[in-house]
Structure 1
Amino acid sequence: MKLSNIALFTVLFFSTFLVVKAQEKQILFSVEDTPVYASEFKRVYKKNLELVKDENQKDVDNYLDLFIKYKLKIAEAKQLGLDKKPAYLREFEGYKKQLSTNFLSNNQVTEALVKEAYERLKYEVNARHILVRIDENAPESQVKLAEDEINKLRDRVITEGYDAVKSIHNGRTLFAEELGFFTAFKMVYNFETAAYQTAIGEWSQPFRTRFGFHIVNVLDKRENRGTVTVAHIMLTNNNEDKAQDAEQQITEIYKRIKQGESFEALAKQFSQDKSSSSNGGKLNPFSSGQLSSPIFEEQAFSLETIGQISEPFKSKYGFHIVKLLDRKTIDTYQNMEAEIKAQVKKDSRSSVISESRYNNLLSKYNVTVNNKDLDYFSSILNNQYYKRIWQAPKTLDSTKVLFTLGDTSYKYSDFAKYLENSQRKRQAQLPFNQLVSVHYRSFLEAKLIKYQEENLEFENEEYANILNEYRDGLLLFDLMETKIWNAAREDSLGLKNYFEANKQNYYFDKKLDVVIASSANKKDIKTVAKLLEQNKDIAQIKNQLNTEDEVNVSFIVDKVTLNHQALPSNFKAQQGVSKLFKHNNAYSVVKVNSIIPKQQKTFEEAKGKVISDFQELKEKQWLENLSKTYKVTINQDVLKQVKKDLN
């Protein structure tokens, strides 16, 4: 490249860079004297674009109107001093601390742990273990005894076999347990690691967890069962009086499926799982251990071929029939990464991340641990510490500096005070040098993390943006609660007047007291229609058309609205037996015993909806007043550029 081209490239690059940086500080509009920058508006617009279902709100002008109203509310909240309330400040600080954890981890260590977990999730391990239980903070003498004991047990189990040793189990200090199959995240990290690294048929070397010393024997390893997608028909058994009816009905439905009727059509007609019935009973995919019903899970995983249907079975939720729609092996790393990362941060693996973070902070802020300082504090401790009456000696050099973070120096007196406070807690009687080391680590780590958290807003732009959004969102919630929600709920006279003026909006929908019969056979439904016209009861009709081995017709007896799943959208409500119709791939007939007309709700019956509507009206009126109270100035040139950028 010629020098002239390099010079031209440099000029263009920095010109573009300066334009972008200048745009970040362009004021799109101001509320009184408070500027709102174009960069903030564009970032929020883009972030929320996919969440907005109303197409009108995707229009930049309409979204700007909403954003201005949002900023007017924030201005009002600050004017009222809501950002100074102790409750607000406490909640904000709590969120700030919670949010910061997502930005303060060591990403390289986290990524390595996530990848390792994914590889382990591909397999399930069947294992058993022997544990010598010991307190996490036990003194070295007890640790040594426990370590000797687990080594002896390992020698013995290898020589004599597990069956000869399992009698040591007492459920208190010694354990010998069969664990069954498990995968990543089901055990503490150290235990999981030993299990995955031990060959089938082998006993691991002794290792320690927070429970004590273990050895683990791996019996088998198998591939993860992956995920299944199933559809189900469910009849609830919440009412004990109707449990027998539900069991009989699920058996009838199963017979109809075996007779060749559509599983999906029967799910639409009868399944009481409202979240899936309209979709033919289809559920979201799930993996081992994901459901709260092991019975349902095992039935689903026992199905081997696509389209296979289980026999009726009972879970704690009711009676089910399950159809296998799809089976998949474990998902790709890309699709599972976010989920695994969240688990890693909750799991005992987090201690690995914490250790890495601590060491990184020591390096980042140039802090070193001086063993002479620790030796000094070990020398001034005595047995009064464990009696909780220890005090730092008066000879302590309180001005001597332990370490410095930014503009703050932490002195001998600070750590001495920390030790005095720590003796209030019950703790194992460790040797003084060990105790000082543990507490100094906690003291130093807490100060490092606090310093990093306090400066994170200035070091990380993404964190600053999220924090600012929450800050404003919390203010907005308090403001709406004070000005609109509580005010509307407590204005009893205003609510009743609003109800009286809008009574036509509050009513119970028309209902039908019905018998709905359905069958795959048109001829059978014709017979049912005739019998219903003759006022035959359901038991008589079932006896005539159904047999013990074959169910030709099923019934729903209930009070339903016109949008009930078993009725077609064009169903005409009139008393008597309807014409035959085909719906959800079945033939049906309806006997309407009576029509319960649309009824006006009383104030008490409509109160919840009245409050919501009244709040909406008050908010609209309030926003009109805010727009008159606070001057809003829009920079049209900047708005024009923003529209160009967003479009």
Structure 2
Amino acid sequence: MKLKFFLIVFISFFVFNIQAQANQKEILFSVDDEPVYTSEFIRVYNKNLDLVQDESQKDIDEYLTLFTNYKLKLKEAKALGLHEKASYKRELNNYKKQLAKGFMTDTKVTDALVEEAYDRMSYDVKANHILIKVLENANPEDTLLAYNDILKLRERALKEGFDVVRKEVHNGQTIYGEELGYFSGFKMVYKFENVAFKTPVGTISQPFRTRFGYHIINVQDKRKSRGERTVAHIMVIKKEGDSLAEKPENRIQDIYKKLNQGEDFEALAKQFSDDKSSASKGGKLSPFSSGQISAQEFENVAFGLENIGDISKPFQTQYGWHIIKLYGKKPIPPFEEMKAELQEKIKRDSRSKLIDDALTSKLRNQYNIEIEDKDLDYFASILNKDYLEGKWSLPDNFKNENTFFKIEQTPYSYKQFADYLLKTQRNSKSSNSFKNIVLEKFETFLNTKLLEYKEDNLENESEDFSYILSEYREGLLLFDLMESTIWNASKTDSTEIKNYYETNKGNYITPKRIDAVVASSSKQKTLKKVSKLLEENMPLDEIKRLVNSNDDVQVIFTKDMMDANHQAIPDNFKFKKGISKIYNHNSAFVVVKVNDVLPKTQKTFEEAKGAIISDYQNYKEEKWLKELHEKYKVVVNDDVLVKVKSQIKNK
């Protein structure tokens, strides 16, 4: 689903449909007499201008071509009836519901929760707790018993010490006494987080209830958040299946010794790090904060470095061996930078119920909902003990057609609420009176209907919502079209793909490579000695014993099949057998022993299959677009296009 969503967003890059009256807009072009208005094109162009990487797409004529092709594809998708597919309608409806959540909120409550969340993410709290489990729907007797038990444990903890009691009572079944360590906002359920952050350090909270049961918390410490770190690393991994490869722990120790000898971290990372994504950048990684790195040991070491420029000792994670260098320490970002991220977290958190409650209250006022007591009393009067046992049914004289309430002009009948009562009768607490049962059920029923009504009418009430939904609607349609017409080519066009490969074989070549050993050192004099030893065909292990020692690593060797782009190979290196001259490369000196030169070779179909299919799909799409231009008549209003160019240029 995630992949499909991102592809849809990419496809819809060139569209942002604007709904408006045709007579208020000029027509820029038409596709089979279906108009496309200038305002739509200008909005799309301006919206995407800063996102476009290809400079040619910033040219208005080039952009118009892309946009015209997009409209042709949409025309074809509708002609094929893809917008009528059940799967299309279902996915669009699911997205509409998800999108609506972002537009259905109470901003005042949300803003207050966002500010609170930012404050809590700025700190870490260290706490232990004791929990007595009790079900959310437990009867009053069991609930009171659990509450009294947690009160007694608090009294004991105040006298005997919290940890003494915690360890004694923990049984891992009905009572839990746990050390929680440090945590910040969003790491616990909201009720628990609330109490933890409001309880002073060194004290024990009053009992409180979450969905798990009754808790007491002992807050032990509160500290400022550790913020963000920027580091570089050198990583060495085990070469699976290579019995001749050096042990990674030995190789990382050799690199560490060179660092201690004063050699440059970035240069060593470029030469020897097995993390290819960062090696070319001197090992530098993107900034990260607590919880973002999947390797806990890596995070701990990174945050343990104190001063910019500090370098860690070699350590191991599940990914390999590492050495880290600290480049930057940054505190929690300013509130405005984190605001959007916090809003999204709150939507997924238990505190979102506070927002939902505020929203339904707001909707009641917006739609001026009026409920008569007599209507609620009527439903309380027709319930009986069968309802608590799930056997209740409506009386014969039930008033089906009576209107219960209205949301604007939409009426909701007695029958609709009665159906809800029937469906949910097994979920009622026997301790409640029938009047309370009706009140609780009606609150849930009304809130549900208010939210449904708001969602159904959101496209008319919110222009922004309408724009975004239209973008996704058309992007989803185009995704289905491209998938069925172009992207599934590998399944349906196997013969054509092989013919394409035979016609374009010259595009699929393995480059010229060398079987080589590269010796790297910070000292040119050392490499002169190594060069002579390599020329004498001395084994690498013997050369290392002669040149290096336990405390002094002068040279590191890299043995591999290498093309011209390999990180260890100097620029403009000539591929020929034998010992090379000494090069200055990546802030070090290198000498290369070329054991063999492998000429460029033709890739087989199977070897190049992925690239072939991708190229074939591009070829097929270009051919298909020509067919669409022949099938549908596109007419551009040249006078209007001149005005559009002038308007965009003058902005």
TM-score category, normalised to shorter length = over 0.9
Counterparts of residues 539-618 of structure 1 (less than 5 Å) = 539-618=541-620
Which residue in the other structure is 1:286 paired with? 288
Question: Aligned letter for 2:552?
Answer: E
Gapped regions of structure 1 (runs ≥ 5): 1-19
In 2, Cα distance between the equivalents of 1:248 and 1:125? Answer: 40
Instruction: Give the drift of 1:613.
Output: 1.4
In 2, Cα distance between the equivalents of 1:279 and 1:428? Answer: 63
Counterparts of residues 42-57 of structure 1 (less than 5 Å) = 42-57=42-57
Contact preservation (8 Å) 2:501, 2:612: yes
In 2, Cα distance between the equivalents of 1:145 and 1:193? Answer: 24
Instruction: Give the drift of 1:205.
Output: 2.3
Instruction: Give the drift of 1:458.
Output: 1.0
Instruction: Give the drift of 1:610.
Output: 1.7
Contact preservation (8 Å) 1:73, 1:476: yes
Structure 1 pair 33–265 and aligned structure 2 pair: CA distance change class (3 A) = same
Question: Aligned letter for 1:109?
Answer: V
Deviations along 1:46-71, one digit per CA (max 9) or x if unpaired, are 22222211101011111111001000
Bigger mean CA offset, 366-375 vs 595-604: 366-375
Instruction: Give the drift of 1:373.
Output: 3.8
- Tell me if 1:62 matches 2:62: yes
Deviations along 1:216-264, one digit per CA (max 9) or x if unpaired, are 2211111111111111000123638779711100000000000000000
Structure 1 pair 369–569 and aligned structure 2 pair: CA distance change class (3 A) = farther
In 1, Cα distance between the equivalents of 2:444 and 2:188? Answer: 26
Instruction: Give the drift of 1:113.
Output: 0.9
- Tell me if 1:114 matches 2:111: no
In 2, Cα distance between the equivalents of 1:179 and 1:360? Answer: 38
In 1, Cα distance between the equivalents of 2:503 and 2:194? Answer: 69
Which residue in the other structure is 1:520 paired with? 522
Structure 1 pair 615–240 and aligned structure 2 pair: CA distance change class (3 A) = closer
Instruction: Give the drift of 1:215.
Output: 2.0
Contact preservation (8 Å) 2:428, 2:437: no
Instruction: Give the drift of 1:377.
Output: 3.3
In 1, Cα distance between the equivalents of 2:378 and 2:392? Answer: 15
Question: Aligned letter for 2:220?
Answer: L
In 2, Cα distance between the equivalents of 1:60 and 1:327? Answer: 44
**TM superposition score normalised by structure 2:** 0.92
- Tell me if 1:37 matches 2:37: yes
Structure 1 pair 41–276 and aligned structure 2 pair: CA distance change class (3 A) = same
Counterparts of residues 101-500 of structure 1 (less than 5 Å) = 101-166=101-166, 167-237=168-238, 239=240, 245-370=247-372, 372-385=374-387, 387-423=389-425, 431=432, 432-487=434-489, 489-500=491-502
Gapped regions of structure 2 (runs ≥ 5): 1-19
Question: Aligned letter for 1:314?
Answer: Q
Contact preservation (8 Å) 2:28, 2:641: yes
CA RMSD of aligned residues (A): 2.2
Structure 1 pair 288–405 and aligned structure 2 pair: CA distance change class (3 A) = same
In 1, Cα distance between the equivalents of 2:618 and 2:210? Answer: 56
In 2, Cα distance between the equivalents of 1:258 and 1:505? Answer: 47
Contact preservation (8 Å) 1:138, 1:428: no
Deviations along 1:60-99, one digit per CA (max 9) or x if unpaired, are 1111110010001001111111100111111111111111
Displaced runs of 4 or more, over 6 A: 20-24, 240-244, 425-428
Structure 1 pair 378–147 and aligned structure 2 pair: CA distance change class (3 A) = farther
Which residue in the other structure is 2:17 paired with? none
Residue aligned with 1:471, SS: helix
Instruction: Give the drift of 1:430.
Output: 5.6
Which residue in the other structure is 2:77 paired with? 77
**TM superposition score normalised by structure 1:** 0.92
Bigger mean CA offset, 171-180 vs 344-353: 171-180
Instruction: Give the drift of 1:439.
Output: 3.3
Structure 1 pair 244–394 and aligned structure 2 pair: CA distance change class (3 A) = farther
Deviations along 1:278-297, one digit per CA (max 9) or x if unpaired, are 11111111112221111001
Deviations along 1:557-586, one digit per CA (max 9) or x if unpaired, are 111221011112211111111111011111
In 2, Cα distance between the equivalents of 1:58 and 1:601? Answer: 37
Percent identity (aligned): 52
- Tell me if 1:509 matches 2:511: yes
Contact preservation (8 Å) 1:229, 1:327: yes
Residue aligned with 1:49, SS: helix
Structure 1 pair 441–122 and aligned structure 2 pair: CA distance change class (3 A) = same
Contact preservation (8 Å) 1:23, 1:39: no
Residue aligned with 1:279, SS: coil
Structure 1 pair 371–513 and aligned structure 2 pair: CA distance change class (3 A) = farther
Question: Aligned letter for 2:82?
Answer: L
Contact preservation (8 Å) 1:269, 1:584: yes
Question: Aligned letter for 1:142?
Answer: D
Structure 1 pair 161–23 and aligned structure 2 pair: CA distance change class (3 A) = farther
Contact preservation (8 Å) 2:231, 2:302: yes
Contact preservation (8 Å) 1:233, 1:322: yes
Residue aligned with 1:256, SS: helix
Bigger mean CA offset, 22-31 vs 307-316: 22-31
Structure 1 pair 379–598 and aligned structure 2 pair: CA distance change class (3 A) = farther
Instruction: Give the drift of 1:309.
Output: 0.5
Bigger mean CA offset, 252-261 vs 576-585: 576-585
In 1, Cα distance between the equivalents of 2:68 and 2:276? Answer: 40
- Tell me if 1:25 matches 2:22: no
Bigger mean CA offset, 69-78 vs 483-492: 483-492
Question: Aligned letter for 1:268?
Answer: K
In 1, Cα distance between the equivalents of 2:356 and 2:454? Answer: 14
Instruction: Give the drift of 1:155.
Output: 2.6
Bigger mean CA offset, 590-599 vs 155-164: 155-164
Structure 1 pair 151–600 and aligned structure 2 pair: CA distance change class (3 A) = same
Bigger mean CA offset, 255-264 vs 324-333: 324-333
In 2, Cα distance between the equivalents of 1:518 and 1:34? Answer: 67
Bigger mean CA offset, 239-248 vs 535-544: 239-248
Deviations along 1:564-615, one digit per CA (max 9) or x if unpaired, are 1111221111111111101111100111111222111222222222222121
